[in-house]
Structure 1
Amino acid sequence: MKQPLRDVRSYRLPPEVVDPLRQGLSGVSSQTIKAIIREVPAYAEPFAGELGHKIARAVRAALATFLNLVSRPGADPGTPMASAIEAAYALGRGEARSGRSLDALLAAYRVGARVAWRELAAISVAAGQPAATIANFAELVFAYIDELSAASVAGHADELAASGRIRMRHLQELAQALVAGEPAHVLQAAAEQAEWAPPQTLTALLLPERAARWVIDLLDPRTLQVADAVPDLPGLTVLLVPDPQGSSRPTMTRLLTGHNVVMGPARPWLEARSSLDRAIRVHRMTAPAGGEVVDTEDHLAAVVVTADPGALADLRAWALTPLAGERGAAAAKLIETLRSWLLHHGRREDVAAELFVHPQTVRYRMARLRELYGDRLRDPQWVLALTIALAIPE
């Protein structure tokens, strides 16, 4: 079984061992830094600039702290180590902020430990230290580096978690600003703060919250989410999906099938609110059921016709004035037949098939409608008005 590393805080080396190491510390630091630059490509560029001087000083300080730690009999064992741990933790956070991965950081520690031990051991051998002392010393070096790397890993993880929470908050603020239809300069500032690369277009999806949790991972990573964005449609979530247009729109439709989704039109990202407005209107007209995806592009005529409900009601009342004298049931059948006749361009068989009646019944009803409307059924303006008025069945 692998034995745990020695507690470097409690072990002490005599001055005759430490003094030669302290004298050679500068050379050890230089060799360690060169090896890290050579073997860990992610650090080659940082070491080349001003940051390199800071990192080099940190390496030298870490090695000096180690020597201080193992040569302080009777002193508070936690003081020098606490300082080193704090510095390593800060290094991990700084690496996360710079965008370098944990892999690069751990690789640098491995290389640093190996080279530092090799150089320090060479000094000890040259000073005539016995093998047992050098072996103990090796264990201390690796125990020390192990503690520093653990502290840096913790700092790296904490920074990523903190920055992730901050970015998530900024992304939520951006999504809410888009849904609210804020001015362009507000949206651009919010996108920059959230480090969100704006796409050409956004498409609004309106779907149940439980479905949103399922499908969001299937969509573009830049997809934004706002829960309960429509007060009178509780339980629905808005997703703003980048660039689902052209050939990608059918693909997204397939991904969303089974989740009761209304899909708005693609709009320039600064105008995402207009996509949501369309989705809301279509949802109110035809709420999806049975897992279907309702594409608002398939309901444009209904959207246009119902844009002004009051005007549509007035137009319908005016266009149906000739039927005012008909009884309720008879009038309803005539209106139903007239609508189908307009939509099928007068093809009697198609009208009969749609209404599940005999073609002779269609003939009879149309004869009655011609009596009531007269030449108006041949007037293009009247045909247009009737078509619009009867486009959406009551």
Structure 2
Amino acid sequence: MATHPVRPTTQIQTVVGLDPVVTDALRSHLAEIADSAVLSIVEEVPSYAGAWSGRMGEVIRNAVQLALGGFLTLATRLDAEAPRAPAIEGAYQLGRGEARQGRTVEALLAAYRIGARSSWHHMSDVAVEAGVAAGQLARFAELVFAYIDELSAASVAGHTDELESSGRVRQRNLERLARALLTGAPADAVNAAAERADWEPPGALTALVLPESQVSHALTALDQTTLQPDDVPGLPEGHASLLVPSTGSATARPTLLSALRGTDAVVGPSTPWLEVGASHRRAVRCAALGLSGLVDTDDHLAALVLGADADARADLRARVLAPLADLRPSTAEKLTDTLRSWLLNHGRREAVAEELFVHAQTVRYRVGQLREVYGDRLEDPAFVLDATLALA
């Protein structure tokens, strides 16, 4: 097994050279000392409660025995450079395993402190009973704790490496999941991506489009399982997308909008999580309207409908205004404004006059002109609908 480079907190320089009688006595008690150390760990460190039985207890017990065996080998040598690779590698792999189990580095270091205390207590008793010299006992103690420092440094390195490695893998899986959601991948493929990313699907998702400079600020106020897709096509330059989980309840949207206050986010509709691509597309279209501040797409549905096909709307406008084409441009412009206001105000002359800043008699005159041009079409519901959409 390959070893991993570790920078221990303490370089072991102490030479002990234990008498073989002392060493044999210690080796004969090795399993008992290891079991006592593990018991102390599971009793005193909450994260290890219940770890005595089962596979994890066996893993910890083997790690402790390996460490103690390596220590005795070191303690019997007369040189300070005795090989420690197997124990160091074992400590490194233990650190990786503890990270995979979800234990913190603080819990790991606490286990080392308690294990070292318990091991020293029993090992010193055995060594004294076996007749270890006083000078050797002092060097023995120094070696024990220097050795534990080196092992704990290796375990911390393993713990850190595992978190970094697993974090990168999970982040890549989350990015793939977000991309699958936005590209319309089949439901079974998206569900598989969610499982690989260890991401629990919510009741609903809401897509946001916001400036990249505001993403970090927004994430601090949003659900921690929010997805952040990368390389999203169609986004305005300098913008990013977020997919925010929610319950889909009546209070979820007001809560989300409140959390985003102070940002320039465009908030798409809440959709079932597998359909969030539709929310994202609407948010992108609404962002293209050029609105400022926090934008709720639910408040701009008419503008989105009217802007859905700009070419079709332009053709519709040209067809509606065709009867005015032969008039002088200034007259055509005034009648166009009057027709628009007359439609939107349902023919209320005073409202039209107020909106256009003209006298009511002027409105009556212009409407008369429109009736001359359009005739009965002004009363045709189909034409009224076309003209309202074209001029709105």
CA distance change for structure 1 residues 9 and 198 in 2, over 3 Å: closer, same or farther?
A: farther
Q: Is the 8 A contact 1:262 1:279 kept in 2?
A: yes
Matched with 2:72 is: 67
Distance 1:359 1:261 in 2: 43
1:258-277 correspondence runs (5 A): 258-277=262-281
Q: Which of 235, 239, 262 is equivalent to 1:236?
A: 239
Matched with 2:32 is: 27
Q: Is the 8 A contact 2:228 2:242 kept in 1?
A: yes
Deviation at 1:151, TM superposition (A): 0.8
Deviation at 1:91, TM superposition (A): 0.3
Structure 1 counterpart of 2:268, which letter?
G
Q: Can you list the C-alpha shifts for 1:235-279, whole angstroms capped at 9, x where unaligned?
A: 221222222854333343344445433222112221121112112
Is 1:164 the counterpart of 2:167? The answer is yes
Distance 1:95 1:307 in 2: 54
Matched with 2:346 is: 345
Deviation at 1:228, TM superposition (A): 4.6
Q: Which of 11, 14, 22 is equivalent to 1:17?
A: 22
Is 1:40 the counterpart of 2:26? The answer is no
Deviation at 1:339, TM superposition (A): 1.5
Distance 1:197 1:253 in 2: 23
Distance 2:41 2:337 in 1: 83
Structure 1 counterpart of 2:76, which letter?
S
CA distance change for structure 1 residues 332 and 309 in 2, over 3 Å: closer, same or farther?
A: same
Matched with 2:5 is: none
Partner secondary structure for residue 47 of structure 1 = coil
Identity %: 52
Q: Which of 104, 119, 130 is equivalent to 2:122?
A: 119
Aligned length: 383
1:1-394 correspondence runs (5 A): 7=12, 10-73=15-78, 77-79=81-83, 81-231=84-234, 233-243=236-246, 246-284=250-288, 286-289=289-292, 292-391=293-392
Deviation at 1:221, TM superposition (A): 1.5
Q: Structure 2 unaligned runs (5+)? A: 1-8
Structure 1 counterpart of 2:285, which letter?
R
Structure 1 counterpart of 2:390, which letter?
A
Q: Which has the higher contact order (CA 8 A, sep 6+)?
A: 2
Distance 1:173 1:57 in 2: 38
Which one is further off, 231-240 or 107-116? Answer: 231-240
Q: Is the 8 A contact 1:352 1:358 kept in 2?
A: yes
CA distance change for structure 1 residues 336 and 303 in 2, over 3 Å: closer, same or farther?
A: same
Q: Is the 8 A contact 1:5 1:139 kept in 2?
A: no
Q: Can you list the C-alpha shifts for 1:54-81, whole angstroms capped at 9, x where unaligned?
A: 321221221121111100235x8342x1
Partner secondary structure for residue 224 of structure 1 = coil
Deviation at 1:348, TM superposition (A): 2.8
Give the RMSD, CA atoms, in angstroms: 2.6
Q: Can you list the C-alpha shifts for 1:87-141, whole angstroms capped at 9, x where unaligned?
A: 1001000111121222221121111111111111222333344544333322221
Distance 2:124 2:100 in 1: 35
Q: Is the 8 A contact 2:15 2:77 kept in 1?
A: no
Distance 2:13 2:44 in 1: 27
Deviation at 1:5, TM superposition (A): 6.5
Q: Is the 8 A contact 1:9 1:78 kept in 2?
A: no
Q: Is the 8 A contact 1:205 1:241 kept in 2?
A: yes
CA distance change for structure 1 residues 261 and 357 in 2, over 3 Å: closer, same or farther?
A: farther
Q: Structure 1 unaligned runs (5+)? A: none
Distance 2:61 2:231 in 1: 52
Distance 1:177 1:9 in 2: 58
Q: Is the 8 A contact 2:338 2:366 kept in 1?
A: yes
Structure 2 counterpart of 1:296, which letter?
T
Which one is further off, 214-223 or 96-105? Answer: 214-223
Q: Is the 8 A contact 2:16 2:139 kept in 1?
A: no
Distance 1:228 1:330 in 2: 50
Structure 1 counterpart of 2:51, which letter?
P
Q: Is the 8 A contact 1:203 1:275 kept in 2?
A: yes
Structure 1 counterpart of 2:336, which letter?
I
Distance 1:238 1:210 in 2: 12
Q: Is the 8 A contact 2:39 2:52 kept in 1?
A: no
TM-score (norm 2): 0.88
